[in-house]
Amino acid sequence: MEQEVKFRRALVIGCGQSGVAAAELLHARGCEVRLFDRRATLEGLPDRLSSCVRYLGVELAPDEAFDGLDLLVLSPGVPPGPWRERHLKLVPEAEVHGELSLALAIIASEWEGGNELPTLLITGTNGKSTVTALTGAMLAAAGLDPFVGGNLGIPLCELLLAVAEGRRGRPGALVLECSSYQLETLRVSPEAPLTAVAMVLNVSADHLDRYASINDYAQTKARIFDGLGPQSLALLSAKDPFTPALRERVPPIVECRVVDGPEPPRLAEHDGALELRVGEFYRRELVPLAGRHNAVNALFALAAARHLGITREACEQALSEFRALPHRMNPIGERGGVTYIDDSKATNVASVLAGLDGFERPFVLICGGRAKQGDEIGALREVLARQGSGVVAIGESAQTFLAMADGVVPTAHARDMHEAVRIARDMAKPGDAVLLSPACASWDMFLSFVHRGEVFAQAVAALA
């Protein structure tokens, strides 16, 4: 690549997917890359990084790892506090980036017209992957060739490397799912493309082992609005209690629309149609996703796409062709009149409740795992009393879930997912659903929520 190398020497903290993507891009640009990871061994490291100096199997890299640095890249899953302290002590002149902010900075500074590249940023405790994918589908239906990724799927640095090596053309837009971790290091124009649309779908208790309070977490989410300009759009939820505080972060020159309130964008009371503007309706039947929350997700996507000038026809095409993302209220099979539904992505109580909003079947709930600090498990009691046929609890928090549901529905403890599915089958009646919606992280028993959903599917397939 014949490119000016902005950074000469970088330390990449954390060698997960995003860290490796940043390291590969920097290495290809001629930067000396050093790698750190708390794991003692790294499997599957790309060949081009084989010569990089590595600091593995320790809590913090030694001082020598910081010698001569002009860039520190923090991976999203790495708590930043100790690293920022060492940065200020050892190399205060070095820039600090996350993988996402690094890629955006390169786009803004080196791509022709990069600072004006339509960029949509999407965050929220729940629903952001669906809204990101659906918004991207609307832009794609209009022929815009967007890049859809960030926290969802492919890291942005991976796209930049593919473009630089001629394996992909430059996209016509960026549709980026942003976690709170990624927003911690987000830069604004001119160090990043001007944000065309930014949205916070909702805020509920999550990651409180990282943030001092839920208010601190919410304000980190609000950083998504910092890069908006006079022609940009901010979107917030009328139903979320944090919206008044978040709205204060939206610059006064920016149009701000509140979704799912008394005014459009809203769901029509008489038939649930999606009313984007006065007189602009989209039939609910166009959205092939179950639950009221998914109709609201579609409203967010429509508002973003139409703001960019995407035609109604392209939006309707994308809506009708869209399918639920894996592990999000996905029916995966039926046995004996009982439908089995994988909602493994529901890693907190708010996500479980959102999935059940508008769900009509009685259900046996398989839940439990590593509970999120500050989450209100008791909020599930009302929906269980109204619609539940039973609770089967697994994982570290099993006893907490059993105590919550005691006296509300039949309960049982299972040692593993296969046993949980068998018990749930015996609890369910024809016409019921068995719903894996754990309200917890997966790491106590599984590699990820994806792995948890896959094991659930295997257990369902193994039923006689």
Annotated binding site: 124-130
DSSP notation for 335-391: ETTEEEEE-TT--SHHHHHHHHTT--S-EEEEE-SBPPTT--GGGGHHHHHHHEEEE
Cβ count within 10 A of residue 268: 13
Coil, helix or strand for 259?
strand
Coil, helix or strand for 280?
strand
Give CA–CA dist 276/286, Å, rounded. 14
DSSP notation for 416-439: SHHHHHHHHHHH--TT-EEEE--S
Coil, helix or strand for 55?
strand
Segment holding 98, helix H or strand E:
strand 95-98
Q: Shortest CA distance to 17 belongs to which of 169, 156, 225, 165?
A: 156
Q: Is 349 exposed, middle or buried (0-12, 13-18, 19+ CB in 10 A)?
A: buried
Give CA–CA dist 420/53, Å, rounded. 45
Scan for tokens 């001082």, then name that residue: 63
- Known binding residues for ATP are 124-130
